[in-house]
Amino acid sequence: MSQLNLNTIEEESLRKTFFVQVLLPVPIPKTFTYRVPQKYEEHIQVGIRAIVPFGKKKIITGVISAIHQDAPNDYEAKYLLELLDEYPVVSRQQFQLFEWMSQYYMATEGEVLNVGLPSGLKLSSESKIQLNPAFQLEQSPYIFSQIEEVVINLLKKEGLLSYEQFAEITNTKQTSVLIKDLLKKQVIMLIEQVQERYKPKTEKRLRLQKDWLDKAQLNNLMQQLDKKPKQLDVLLKYLQVVPVFNDSSKNEIGVAKSIFKEEQFSTSSINTLIKNKIFEEYEVITSRLDYLNRQENLDHEITLSPAQEACRDEINTIFAEKDVALLHGITGSGKTEIYLSLIREVIESGSQALFLLPEIAITTQMIQRVRKIFGDQVGIYHSKFSDAERVEVWQGVAEGTINFVIGVRSSILLPFNNLSLIVVDEEHESSYKQYDPAPRYNARDTAVVLANIHKAKLILGSATPSYESYYNAKTGKYGLSVLTERYGEGTMPEIEVIDMRRQKAKKLVKDDYSHSLLAALESEMNKGNQAIIFQNRRGYAPYLQCETCGWISECENCSVSLTYHMHQHELKCHYCGYRQKSPSACLSCESTALVMKGFGTEKIEDDLKLHFPDVKIQRMDRDTTRKKYSYQQIIESFESGETQILIGTQMVTKGLDFENVSLVGIVDADRMMYYPDFRAHERAFQMMLQVSGRAGRSHKKGKVWIQSFQENHPLFNYLLKYDYEGFYELQLQERHSFFYPPFCRLIKIVLKGAQADSVRNGARLLYESLIGKLSSQRVLAPHEPMIAKIRNIYHMEIWIKLEKGYPLESTKSQIKASVNKLQENSQFRKLRVVFDVDPQ
């Protein structure tokens, strides 16, 4: 301080220099320092976006994360170019969350920002907008020499995007107009491009001028128009949509001009009506969100059953002591109404609430239900929504007009500033975990931290909780509330396991279906009931095999078999998308004895269509739900009863609620149980219980048929009794003896590269370095994952198992240090190394 006082001029100049840290959506583990042009000093705020130069050729948008006066000491900071917001788009709490996520999941904050910000709010370095030639000035003496001195000084002193000043000072000069123009145009274009996506959508409407709003006048008007039938038509149409005769206040709503155009009313008549001051044309801001433009009749009523009410009170009691409550309620127990009733309390008190659902479950049913209760305060955040729609939700949350968000995992990254309650429904779902790109976060676990940052409460709900959450509840870390009865008249369906070995021996199996399953299906169809058939494999047949030489159709790029898709007569790789025409003879020995092995949803669809030619059958899997509304259409058709049999992958296990389903068939239970993963049994049990839960949800009694060649497996003993807890206890012992979660923490390191050798050797070296630091008990030897090659890239994995309480942060630093060391070796520089904390 005393030094500053020595020289007022120096003090003055120092005082004026502001710097900002800008967080950029790039995978570099730091923020960048930029200088603030003087004219922006009073506008800078933490959380607003800035356009900045990045590298020599690019400009990108980032978010200001700090403001200070310390010039970087190892380089000269460039000027930021432009500010994009008047108000923060990233909240203080979000920065905290970003920081935690980047730390915990071993990603950079830029990577977190990148998945968090909808692309409508950012221009990534990928857009490769070149600031040509201005940013290359110093590198390009030729261009440099062409620019006036004044311009050069300005560029050096003021930063590039004082472009208005830039224009002002240089307007009179004739030289390098071209260069200036180029520069100006590019920056302006960029800003417009960014702001365009951010602009509200408007709609032109028509309404009657006030003078005509009384009945006598209106009658008068109609008589006047009697000789101008086209104009009269327009007026009549207007009165049909807006009955101002009955209620003149309705005139305020007006009618969208586009409606008249769509219905081919005469445009010139409309314009005459406007010109003659009969109609008034005006503009309103509308939402990009379809559901917000639809009127719902509000109905705040939520009536809970006594059991639901008790459960809600219990959760409130838990919240007096704990921040997290696990709601273990069987399928159909009515968990949703309990959430909604708790959420309503929060919204009414003026705070925000977040309701997370696994990807697929956001249906029209759900949207209508919450819109009825909460009206326009609801924002829906989903990957199938457009960018502009997502930006609108983002803005609404930041500004506080949206207080209730219902969304998928990325909605935990929205700019809440006043969050009081988070609900994670179906918390066991693995779709809460992001695989690629980094950050590989689990939204359920991140929700715990988000709740903590906001001092909010969290409910985790499931009929089949994850072992991690159940363990936390059993050991008292979370509160536990249990619902053991279905809402209303529903009862849990009876489950029967079909012993496929015996059935096959007795020749009671046709294709892949036992006679009992087919007979039961037939009988339910005759009664007019509906059925769900579950098989966790899409396509027709998982592979094609030659019976003569044993050859199997494999992908050229990946170490997996190609799936046969009958409808396109193609073999497809589900990992890289590779496809080829299905061969008619073996590619190895040319024998024509090719047989399809195993079966997927597509084959089941074909088979059942043969068995039940008069029944409408639909299939729901990744292949049939690629379009925005296709999922919804399938659901609606099943809901209306038009479709009688719905066949599907795990998509049909989640949260669907249909009254008329009396039969659920699980065609191949073994496939799920024998997957090489320590969670396979947990998953299989969850999936079978969840899909069983789709039957018998109303007064109709349901039944579940499970086909297995391993009917003595202990899993079934528990499943038949719906004994979630018993099976959990059994599994927990196994997890304990083999030291798996919830008893340890896992970090998975994946090395990827185009050369199998270098991947293998790199993994070996990394392993040796890691056991030196963490001991050989904690680091498992490198191994090939089940699919060791994808898109011609070889994979090797190293798993790290840490006992609870083992210092995590220092371990992560050690891991990163070992990886950096490995990559210093030129042989391994090209390896990609991926960290996955708490892999699923």
* Binding site as annotated, residues for Zn(2+): 546, 549, 555, 558, 573, 576, 586, 589
**Residue 332 near ligand ADP by CB under 6 A:** yes
Residues 295/299/305/307 CA torsion (nearest 10 deg): 70
363 vs 319: CA distance, rounded Å: 30
Between 377 and 416, how does the x/- string for binding to ligand ADP read (CB under 6 A)? ----------------------------------------
Residue 96 or 491: which CB sits closer to ligand ADP? 491
The backbone torsions φ and ψ at residue 795, rounded to the nearest 5 degrees and listed phi first, read: -120, 140
Q: Smallest distance from the beta carbon of 691 to ligand ADP, in angstroms?
A: 12
Residue 334 or 600: which CB sits closer to Zn ion? 600
Q: Smallest distance from the beta carbon of 723 to Zn ion, in angstroms?
A: 40
Q: Among 37, 254, 334, 542, indicate the residue that binds ligand ADP (CB under 6 A).
A: 334
| The entry of Zn ion, ligand ADP, none that residue 341 binds, CB within 5 to 8 Å by partner kind | none
Which residues lie across from 747 on neighbouring strands? 800, 837
Stretch of residues binding ligand ADP (CB under 6 A), selected from 113-121, 265-273, 330-338, 717-725: 330-338
Stretch of residues binding ligand ADP (CB under 6 A), selected from 27-35, 252-260, 327-335, 784-792: 327-335
The total of other beta-carbon atoms located within 10 Å of residue 121's CB is: 24
What the block records as the tokens of 667 is: 């065609």
CA distances from 725 to 466, 497, 685, 731, 743 (A): 11, 20, 11, 10, 18
**Residue 303 near ligand ADP by CB under 6 A:** yes
Stretch of residues binding Zn ion (CB under 5 A), selected from 82-90, 241-249, 373-381, 551-559: 551-559
The helix, strand and coil proportions of the chain, stated in percent and rounded to the nearest 5, come to 45, 20, 35
Q: Among 18, 198, 319, 578, indicate the residue that binds Zn ion (CB under 5 A).
A: 578
Which string of b and e fits 209-238 if b means at least 16 CB within 10 Å?
Answer: eeebeeeeebeebeeebeeeeebbbbbeeb
**Residue 329 near ligand ADP by CB under 6 A:** yes
**Residue 306 near ligand ADP by CB under 6 A:** no
CA distances from 139 to 53, 58, 131, 156, 562 (A): 15, 15, 13, 14, 52
**Residue 17 near ligand ADP by CB under 6 A:** no
| The entry of Zn ion, ligand ADP, none that residue 546 binds, CB within 5 to 8 Å by partner kind | Zn ion
| The entry of ligand ADP, Zn ion, none that residue 337 binds, CB within 5 to 8 Å by partner kind | ligand ADP
Which residues lie across from 352 on neighbouring strands? 419
Question: Considering CB under 6 A, how many residues would be counted as binding ligand ADP?
Answer: 15
Which string of b and e fits 619-654 if b means at least 16 CB within 10 Å?
Answer: bbbebbbeeeeebbebbeebbeeebbbbbbbbbbbb
Annotated binding site, which residues? 546, 549, 555, 558, 573, 576, 586, 589
**Residue 709 near Zn ion by CB under 5 A:** no
**Residue 365 near ligand ADP by CB under 6 A:** no
What the block records as the tokens of 367 is: 């949207």
Site for Zn ion in 326-365 (CB under 5 A): none
Residue 132 or 341: which CB sits closer to ligand ADP? 341
**Residue 335 near ligand ADP by CB under 6 A:** yes
428 vs 682: CA distance, rounded Å: 10
Which residues lie across from 513 on neighbouring strands? 510
543 vs 156: CA distance, rounded Å: 64
**Residue 364 near ligand ADP by CB under 6 A:** no
The total of other beta-carbon atoms located within 10 Å of residue 707's CB is: 23
Site for ligand ADP in 487-516 (CB under 6 A): 487-488
**Residue 592 near Zn ion by CB under 5 A:** no
**Residue 657 near ligand ADP by CB under 6 A:** yes
600 vs 436: CA distance, rounded Å: 26
Q: Which residues contact 342 (CB under 8 A, 6 or more apart)?
A: 312, 315, 316, 421, 423, 459
Stretch of residues binding Zn ion (CB under 5 A), selected from 96-104, 554-562, 599-607, 831-839: 554-562
Q: Smallest distance from the beta carbon of 370 to ligand ADP, in angstroms?
A: 12
Interface with ligand ADP (CB under 6 A):
303-305, 308, 329, 331-337, 487-488, 657
